[in-house]
Structure 1
Amino acid sequence: MKDWQSWAAIIVFAGAYTLIISEKIHRVAVALGGAGLMLAIGATDDISAFYSEDSGIDWNVIFLLMGMMMIVGVLKKTGMFEYLAIWSVKRAHAKPFRVLSMLVVLTAVVSALLDNVTTVLLIAPVTLLVCERLALPSAPFLIAEVMASNIGGTATLVGDPPNIIVASRAGLTFNDFVVQLAPLAVVLVLALLALCRVMFRDSFAYDEERAAEIMELKEREAIKDPRLLVQGLFVLALVMAGFVLHPVLHYEPSIIALLGAGLLVAVSTVDTQEVLSEVEWPTLAFFAGLFIMIGGLIDTGVVGELSHRLGDLIGGNELGGALTLLGGSAVLSGVVDNIPYVATMAPVTGDLVRDMGGASGHVLWWALALGADLGGNATAIGASANVVVLGIAERNHQPISFWQFTKYGLIVTAATVAISLGYVWLRYFGPV
């Protein structure tokens, strides 16, 4: 580490994190201010901040979000989300916990096929409308869904960005993730539903009058522009197919999302200014600032030092190493966004695997992926999907505070990580 710059970077990041937690200053102002200080003290520079793949702004994330926000903005004008809201509530007979369960399972399944950020962008508008119809607080539903997206994303190679990094470094395939992690993801989603039943039990009040009103609604009447809906769904299907075929097409998800957004705006009659107004610009600015701050920690060697110390702690103990890597990754990913954390930790994990002669069934790689993916649920800024949902909630005048999310996130993370530790031990080291 670079002595004073390393310590200065730690102080800047810790101070910014404290301010975000306190919510005394808006998180976007804190992130941009922290990014400016990182540049001012020389912890990072313009080349690293704007052009480095390892420690700069992840433009793929920024433009993926922008493209999908534009597509979702067009779909909102069709009445599709109102249709889905009414349909889902009627199928669940307007029972709040049944509705939550349906949305959680749907989110988890879709997150396994798409990235979790895209999933919450599509599900959140439906959720807000459902809660409005049933006069329910939206926060418990949104929090449960974002956690389901992070859990569901562990099941496949494309479900969560850290998995793509792990697969690239370890030479793992889509089928490897499905075979090794999908069974665990199913168990974790069931555990999440059980926790939600307890954590949010006061939010499931059943209103018979509202339920009766909704059951009488005809969801097809919610569609305002059938032509635009067909156009939007066609483009969305193309974008989803592009995401799934990423290993074949070799187009980054950001490129696919931007191409889809551009195509939809071009073939439809929507006003471009209105579409751009649907983009969550404060959320994108927050991500940019956060990436630069974390880049300062990477460039000064702080994150690398932490990773190497974890490697020294693990030593040659394969079981202890896997459990330590899983638990340690969960803790660190709750504080530092899991994408740069995994990018930094992947080379260290690769060295550990080689030192252990290959390690049983890539267990260290699975431990890294699980810890990073599940640890993202711990805090409001632990994963990209969390930040996006908080931005959507704030835009709809139903803000979710850092601590409101985190107090539930810590419980869910502790439970899911504990189950995962048991899974890793039984599957790779147990008497089976």
Structure 2
Amino acid sequence: MNDWHSWAAIVVFVGAYALIISEKIHRVAVALGGAGLMLAIGATDDVSAFYSEDSGIDWNVIFLLMGMMMIVGVLKKTGMFEYLAIWSVKKAKAKPFRVMAMLVVITAAASALLDNVTTVLLVAPVTLLVCERLALPAAPFLIAEVFASNIGGTATLVGDPPNIIIASRAGLTFNDFLVHLAPLAALLVVVLVALCRVMFRKFFVYDEDRAAEIMDLEEREAIKDPRLLVQGLIVLALVVAGFVLHPVLHYEPSIVALLGAGLLVAVSTAETSEVLSEVEWPTLAFFAGLFIMIGGLIDTGVIDEVSRALADAIGTNELGGSLTLLGASAVLSGVVDNIPYVATMAPITSDLVHSMGGGSDHVMWWALALGADLGGNATAIGASANVVVLGIAERNRQPITFWQFTKYGLIVTVVTVAISLSYVWLRYFALA
């Protein structure tokens, strides 16, 4: 890392990160400005930024988001989210904590089958309506759902993009993830519900009058366009099936989402311009800028240097190495997007596993997955779902600040990572 480009890239990234944290300049402007500086100083170039699978914009993420935002935009017109909001509040007897617990469990379960970004795109509109009906601040509920989506996504091969990278590199199956990570993810969801009860307790204000009003509502009356709802649900079911059958069909989630969005717009009466107006364009621009900035760190060798330093620290001690890899991955994934981090660490982890004689029960790979997936909860930009929810909240005039998210995210990350470290030690070493 002797090249001045490496140090310049670090300065640009750290400066941009500091500005995002300070919130003195809008995060989209910072991300795009940082991307421009990375290109200007030669840390990356147009070929790497726009065409490289390793260090460029992850178009699969961008188009997955765009496709699902379009589908959600059509579903909004049907009244489906109002229906679900009234139904969920009535099931929880309009008690705020019960509502949050229900939404957290639903989000975590859905994130295990869908990717976590798709899940929050579907759950967030319901949450906003629930909070509006109960006169509650939406931020705590949305933040809790982000945590749930990242934890739930840990459970399966398709739940979080880093898991797909790890599965491909290590030759792991969908069932392998279910056996090794799903039990821990289920435990962590229970822990999250308990943490939410403590962290957000001051927001659980019960309004008897509003509760009575909602309990008297008939949720079926919220459906505005039954025909469009049927069309939307059929397309959504096909899209979900496409996601779940990824190991068989080999269609990227982005392709499935775009095909679904195109089909829904084609067969429905929804105006294309109205559907496109529902796309969170600032969020997509933020992701593009962030990918380019991280790409600058990859192209100049900064991330590779950090990864190799981690590998040197691990050595051939499987127990110490697994715990170190899990903890360090959690820290790094809170700062940089976990997709390029895992893509960089995968070959290094493979070499480590080989040097240890194959490792026991793929423990190094599970450590990498847990650290990368759970570490995303640490900060407001630690994972894709976090950024998407911040964009939705801002668009609905319920902005969530960087520190508002991060002060809770750090607590959740420390607790869940500590439990995961204990789980790895007990399952693969102490009780092996």
Residue aligning to 1:66: 66
1:324-354 deviation line (CA, Å, top 9, x unaligned): 0000000000000101100001111001000
Q: 1:324 corresponds to which residue?
A: 324
Please list, as runs of the form range in 1=range in 2, the aligned pairs for 1:37-116 lying within 5 A after superposition.
Answer: 37-116=37-116
Q: Which residue of 2 aligns with 1:299?
A: 299
Matches within 5 A, 1:10-409: 10-409=10-409
- Asked if 2 retains the 8 angstrom alpha-carbon contact of 1:115 and 1:161, the reply is yes
Do the aligned partners of 1:113 and 1:156 also contact (CA within 8 Å) in 2? yes
Runs of 4+ in 1 over 3 A off after TM superposition: none
- The aligned amino acid for 1:301 is G
CA contact 1:83–1:219 (8 Å) conserved in 2: yes
| CA distances 1:90-116 after superposition (whole Å, capped 9, x unpaired) | 000000000000000000000000000
Distance in 2, matches of 1:225 and 1:178, equals: 38
Code of the residue aligned with 1:262 in structure 2: it is: G
- CA contact 1:333–1:341 (8 Å) conserved in 2: yes
Distance 2:13 2:214 in 1: 48
1:3 offset after TM fit, Å? 1.5
Counterpart-to-counterpart distance in 2, 1:146 and 1:235: 25
Conserved 8 A contact 1:150-1:374: yes
Q: For residues 353 and 177 of structure 1, what CA distance do their matches in structure 2 show?
A: 18
1:35-55 residue CA offsets vs partner (Å, 9 max, x unmatched): 000000000000000000000
The answer as to whether partners of 1:307 and 1:344 remain within 8 angstroms in 2 is: yes
Give the distance between the partners of 1:338 and 1:380, measured in 2 at CA. 13
1:424 & 1:210 partners in 2: Cα distance? 46
TM-score of the superposed pair, with normalisation by structure 1: 1.00
Q: Whole-Å Cα distance in 1 between the matches of residues 422 and 247 of structure 2?
A: 32
Across the aligned residues of Structure 1 and Structure 2, the Cα RMSD in angstroms comes to 0.5
User: In structure 2, what is the equivalent of residue 426 of structure 1?
Assistant: 426
Aligned counterparts of 1:155 and 1:426: Cα–Cα separation in 2: 18
- Contact 1:60 1:254 (C-alpha < 8 Å) held by counterparts: yes
Deviations 1:154-183 (A, max 9, x none): 000000000000000000000000000000
1:2–1:301 CA contact under 8 A, matched in 2: no
Q: Distance in 2 between matches of 1:238 and 1:139?
A: 31
Deviation at 1:250, TM superposition (A): 1.1
Percent identical: 86
Shift of 1:247: 1.1
Equivalent AA in structure 2 for residue 72 of structure 1 = V
Structure 1 unpaired stretches of 5+: none
For 2:190 and 2:3, locate their aligned partners in 1 and report how far apart those are by CA, in whole Å: 47
C-alpha distance in 2 between matches for 1:330 and 1:255: 30
- Deviations 1:350-403 (CA, angstroms, capped at 9, x unpaired): 010000001110000000000000000000000000000000000000000000
**Take 1:48 and 1:317, find their aligned partners in 2: how far apart are those partners?**
36
Flag structure 2 segments of 5+ consecutive residues without an equivalent. none
| DSSP-derived class of the 1:361 partner | coil
Query: Is the contact between residue 66 and residue 279 of structure 1 (CA under 8 Å) also seen in structure 2?
Result: yes
Deviation at 1:227, TM superposition (A): 0.4
Instruction: Tell me the CA shift for residue 2 of structure 1.
Output: 5.1
Could you tell me which amino acid in structure 2 is paired with residue 265 of structure 1? V
- CA distance in 2 between partners of 1:270 and 1:312 (Å): 56
C-alpha deviation, 1:431, in angstroms: 3.5
* Cα displacement string for residues 244-270 of structure 1 (whole angstroms, at most 9, x for unaligned residues): 111111111000100000000000011
| 2:294 partner letter | I
